[in-house]
Amino acid sequence: MTNKVVTVAEALKIGRSSDQQVYDFLVGDLNQVINEKKAQIADFDSQLSNAKTLASQYASTIRKQNEVIAQEQARQEKARKEAEEKAKAALRMVGMGEEYDKSSPFELSGGQKRRVAIAGVLAMDPEVLILDEPTAGLDVIARDSILELLREYMETEGRSILISSHISSDLESLCDDIYMIDKGRIVLH
C-alpha cells in the first residue's frame, strides 16, 4: 500500500457518489492499514479524557503497544522453538543423531542427504507423502531403516505414500498397489 492521504473530497472525485460509499472506501483502507499494524488511531477526545497528565497518558499507550509487541515476539519464539524441536525429532526418526544438528549440508554423504530430505517432509506431517527413489544411494542398513520408518508412517490412519523406485523389492513389502511403467505405459499392476 502506498502512503497517501485521501480527503473526503478526493474520495468523491475517485468516483464515490454517496456518503456511505465514501465511508466504506475510507474505512476499508484504514482497516487494512490498521490490521497490518502500520497505523495507530489518534482519537484525541477519548485518549485524553481519562489522562491525569499528558506524559502518563502517552506512557500508558506506549506500555500497551510494548505489551502487544512482547506478546508477538513470545509467540514467534515459541513457534521457532516448536519448529526446531519438530525438525530435530524428524532427523532422529531417519537415524540422524544430535551430531548432525549443526552440520552443513555440504558435509553430508549422498545417503545422509536423502535421509535429511525425507526428514524434512516428515516434519511437516503430511497426509500424502510423495517420494522419488527414497532408498537410492543408501546402504542396506539405512535402506531398511527408511523402509521401516515408511511402514510406521503408514500405520497412522489417513496417510498415503506415493513412491517411484527402480528397486521393486523395496515396494513389495510396503505398498498395497504397485504399477510398473515402461516408456510411459503401465505394463504391470
167 vs 35, 81, 131, 136, 163, CA distance in Å?
53, 38, 13, 8, 11
Which residue among 133, 152, 157, 172 is the active-site one?
133
**Selection from 105, 125, 124, 127 nearest residue 116 by Cα:** 105
Q: Tell me, yes or no, if 133 is annotated catalytic.
A: yes
Residues catalogued as catalytic: 133
